[in-house]
Structure 1
Amino acid sequence: MFGILIAAAILLETVSAISLGVVSTEGGQVEGKNVYLGYKRYMDIFKGIPFAGVPGRFEKPTRHQGWDGILKATSYKERCLQLTILMNDVYGSEDCLYLNIWVPHIKSVASDLPVMVWIFGGGFLVGGSMGANFLDNYLYSGQEIADRGNVIVVTLGYRVGALGFLSTGDSSMPGNYGLWDQQAAIAWVHRNIKSFGGDPNKITIFGESAGGASVSFQTLTPHNKGLIRRAISQSGVALCPWAVNRNPRKFTEEIALKVNCPTDHNMAKCLKMTDPKTLTLAATINLSGSPDAPIVYNLALSPVIDGDFLPDDPSNLFHNAADIDYMAGANDMDGHIFTGLDVPSVNSGLLDTTVDEVKRLLRSFTKEKGTLGSDNAFATYSSEWGSNPSGKDIKKTVVAIETDYIFLIPTQAALYLHASNAGTGRTYSYLFSEPNRLGGLLTPFPSWLGADHADDLQYVFGKPFSTPLGYWPRHRDVSGYMIAYWTNFAKTGDPNTGDLSVPASWPAFTSTGHKFVEINGDMDSSYVKEKLRMRYVNFWTSVLPNLPTIYSD
């Protein structure tokens, strides 16, 4: 009898679903899909809501003209036109400015919930609002974060590759179209999220890699004044060496020649009339690096200082983020993905990485300072080797060099600038170090591999919970910690305070106390640390810049 009563209660609950129903937005009415997640827990999922019209080629996005009737927002839209993984073809569409929303209802219909807006990464070249897909399991599904953290999650599309970031370096084709798309989505969320049960004054933007740098740019531009309350940059900030192209015309001229356009004053006009697929295909990048020509320098399609979205060098714009709470960090071996292409011996069990390769790589990263720069760099990175470094020590050093140069040091510099310009905004620093799950298995990856680039994504998006068979209990621990810190931060501006308990109290990063937490499955209060890689931060931000410049682009 008791079993029948429980069954009846569940049936009754699923029949009387808690849902927003049809939602009114500035463009018209939308209806998503309502799903039952468990006792008194429901979620409305909206996929493919337009936040702007179909963008004009190399133009800023404009408001969507709206629609009649009820828009059924139940499937993801195509990603923006982009190269395939092998860079030999293109897919996607120019009609791609859509966003997706996950709204949790716990016991009652959502109201005044904090909002977390995700900006995907992919080198400004590739990616989509839904992320990679394996068996209909999309990486950037906001369901786990929304349900566990009781926050609304939004993911958005933006133009990438040639159509998103090609720039002539002047007013004829200023660039940054992908950043304008992101900004249009943030502004749309601010104007419309109240209808979905969200609080427009509690918008947190977060992103990883090029998405993390985008988050940083969105906090620095004057165009978002008052729209963003908080921001999280994972493995990418505006100060990264790949985040700004300081000579965009050079690459645009190379593209123009490939598609038979002139490189004079008619270049922009011709490029605008070129078939978009041809244009996208022409903007491939070279993925064969070497210690003498590291791949990071090939990421030419990136934001530019255009005098509008970015009125100045990013390092001079941190006053615009003074009242935004900011959390940023890197993975402890973020650079490994690049090192494997620049110095392939790092992943070989048979080949040793040579001291000469270390020196050549450092020469590339310090080239404007000449021999003095590379000698100082080598002295810094070999200081802990002793007289007879092992093969493993040398390999780990090469990974550390690329991690520092490409991700970790710029992130520390951004945290320092945020803290020193802060008004009401608080600053938090982290290092993610959960080891890569492929290290040492039947893969080319070494057994000592820490957290590689993008390893954090699966945990932030709760994959160990949604696909439990692929993970161990410790992975669920890590995922739980990250969702707790991230959603607490979105609610209160303090990662320790909110609805979810955390394994260690995370202190703020200040101009004088450089505290951070190290996040992994073993975490406890001993993982609160300070002065992350201080010797190396000091070298890259203080010693090297003060050496005389020998060579300039």
Structure 2
Amino acid sequence: MFLFKWLICLVLLLAKLKYTEAGAELDPLIVEIPNGKLRGRDNGNYFSYESVPYAEPPIGELRFEAPQPYSQEWRDVFDATQPAVDCLQWKQFRNEKLQGEEDCLTVSIYRPKNKTRSSYPVVVLLHGGCFMFGGAASYGQEYIMREGKMLLVKISYRLGPLGFTSTGDKNLPGNYGLKDQRLALRWIKQNIASFGGMPENIVLIGHSAGGASTHLQLLHEDFSQLARAAISVSGNALDPWVVQQGGRRRAFELGRIVGCGQLADSVELKKCLKSKPAREIVSAVRSFLVFSYVPFTPFGPVVEPADAPDAFLTQDPRDVIKSGKFSQVPWVVTYTTEDGGYNAALLLKKNKTTGETWIETLNDRWFDWAPYLLFYRDSKKTIKDMDVFSRDLRQKYLGDRRFSVESYWDLQRMFTDILFKNSVPEAIDLHRKRGQSPVYSFVYDNPAVSGLGQVLSNRTDVFFGTVHGDDVFLMFDDVSLRTAIRPDEEVISRKFIKMIEDFALSDKGTLSFGECSFQNNLNSKEYQVLRITRNGCRNEQYNQFL
């Protein structure tokens, strides 16, 4: 009798296990990829699979090296329910500046619940943050998941000195963060079908440094094998803060700051930097700032030597485009009417030591600070050249007036033009002459109630206009900036997301925003841009390129 009961229990147990295994196979939270199975999280109207590694941890001997594909196999089900950690960084917007972890190379995937479809076009996001800070969590997924028609992937990549230190030679060439992005794109192409994504319908979108990164990724001829279209929002490879000179000097100065001594050999420098705690290396960022968070990109992309292993960029982006050897995929490049508010607004804050605003101090420090604020310190051959350029800029935008709250808008216009706006027609002009795929542009002109201008200046008595991020945060929500959006922004948000979805699915690379169709700049004699405002949209044509 005992044996009979025991056999019944065993049969029931085996049946339960078999049922559980069958259920697991049908469980949408369980996804299987070559590394094994992983479990996501149910968020109500969408599933998420976060912190999925695409590369080996870039620590120890893999620090300052090109990323290696993730090769581990999971015996147990991998827990993909934990939000991605930020890569180790010196943050701009927090009192506690040092944030994140060195082991951070992951992707996070978000799939809507939609009973009418089993697969989705894919939008891949490269976050902004001046190549220095930021992360996946800064750009939300709620707006895109609310629409329920696209799968979203966010990429985490190395930042600051850990991502971009370069001695300008093959021993420490730099651009590790860009190489991370590229490896992640390959991972997405190979694995996204397992999550319900369409591997042939991928759009890459980036904001600010992410927008510049998107453009740099597109400048690889084989990018078309990884995505079918790209969107660079308020940032492209021709902006003066993107590809910089002077990397070698900064690399050896970094070594001196963290205790490597006065080295002159890049092999020894790399060896020493690998031996130092990552937090010490990243904390050294503060020594490269002349005041506040200026320059906002002390470590960023560089041109690598041709003999560098796994080189990402061996020519100036302008020369790459002129050669015609870049990916022929549809590209959108954008700016906001007052993009420079991101950089100029911090000058309205008060110096805690003197009580004077930074913009007032600028009157006495213009020649010292302007080359750092506007990124021409390393592009001018002499101090005299820098001073002449600085004097001409001030005269062009302010005339004989002093820097003050009253002249702030002219300073902001200077920042917008030099750091964001002027590069757009230049980039389009090069692409239209050398490319074969559509080139589109839009300018966003609709100020948010609260944006980066108010956050950086800590002021509400100044009207900043449409600043950096006012458009992208209608695509990827940021609750730290906006607790709610206006009814007109709700409409614009849905149109933006529909625009991205259609772009991912379009066979011909056509593009529209609501009722407005973008004008293609390819082979055009005029610079054509779609202006998006609170009341609608309209195409604008300019007589010539800048």
Please report the TM-score for the alignment, with normalisation by the length of structure 2.
Answer: 0.79
- Alignment CA distance shift 1:353-1:57 (3 Å): closer
Deviation of 1:421 (Å): 1.9
Given that 1:123 and 1:210 are in contact with CA atoms closer than 8 Å, whether structure 2 keeps it comes out as yes
Equivalent residue for 1:97?
105
| 2:89 corresponds to 1:82 | yes
**Which residue of structure 2 lines up, in the alignment, with residue 479 of structure 1?**
493
1:45 maps to what in 2? 48
Tell me the C-alpha RMSD between the 2 structures. Answer: 3.7
- Residue pair 2:105, 2:156 contacting (<8 A) in 1 also: yes
Q: Deviations over 1:423-480 (max 9, x none)?
A: 2x2111011121131489996255542111222232112569x999623212212222
Give 1:257's aligned residue. 256
Deviation at 1:388, TM superposition (A): 10
- The residue that corresponds to 2:542 in the other structure is 531
Q: Distance in 1 between matches of 2:90 and 2:357?
A: 34
Is contact 1:235-1:411 (8 Å) kept? no
Give, in whole Å, the separation in 2 of the partners of 1:269 and 1:286: 22
Residue 439 of structure 2 corresponds to 427
Deviations 1:301-351 (A, max 9, x none): 001111320021111223344411101111111112212345769xx9999
SS at match of 2:225: coil
**Map of 1:134 onto structure 2:** none
- Of all paired residues, the percent bearing the same amino acid is 28
CA distance in 2, matches of 1:89, 1:467: 19
Match 1:312 to one of 312, 315, 326: 315
C-alpha contact 1:115 1:151 (8 A) present in aligned 2: yes
1:3 maps to: none
Aligned to 1:58: 64
2:233·2:333 contact (CA, 8 Å) conserved in 1?
yes
Q: How does 1:256-405 map to 2 (within 5 A)?
A: 256-262=255-261, 263-265=263-265, 266-284=268-286, 295-296=294-295, 299-306=297-304, 307=306, 308-318=311-321, 319-342=324-347, 364=371, 368=380, 381=397, 394-405=407-418
Aligned equivalent of 1:28 = 36
Contact 1:487 1:495 in 2 (8 A): no
Deviates more, 1:53-62 or 1:361-370: 361-370
For 2:357 and 2:83, how far apart are their aligned partners in 1? 45
Q: How far apart are 1:490 and its partner, in Å?
A: 2.4
- Post-superposition shift, 1:109? 4.5
Query: Contact 2:211–2:232 at 8 Å: present in 1 too?
Result: yes
SS of aligned partner of 1:284: helix
| 1:255 match: secondary structure | helix
For 1:127, which of 122, 125, 134 is the aligned residue?
A: 134
The DSSP-based 3-state class of the residue aligned with 1:194 is helix
> Partners in 2 of 1:352 and 1:45 — Cα distance?
44
TM-score by length of 1: 0.78
Unmatched 5+ residue regions in structure 2? 1-22
Q: Kindly tell me the number of residue pairs found equivalent between the two proteins.
A: 488
Residue aligning to 1:199: 198
Q: Distance in 1 between matches of 2:313 and 2:460?
A: 39
Q: Does 1:507 align with 2:507?
A: no
SS at match of 1:333: coil
Q: Deviations over 1:340-375 (max 9, x none)?
A: 345769xx9999989979996998567846787567
Q: Which runs of 5+ in 1 are unaligned?
A: 1-14, 38-42, 132-139, 539-553
| Residues 73-82 or 152-161, more deviating | 73-82
**Aligned with 1:295: secondary structure?**
coil
The DSSP-based 3-state class of the residue aligned with 2:122 is strand
Amino acid at match of 1:272: K
Letter in 2 for 1:264: A
CA apart distance, 1:269: 1.1
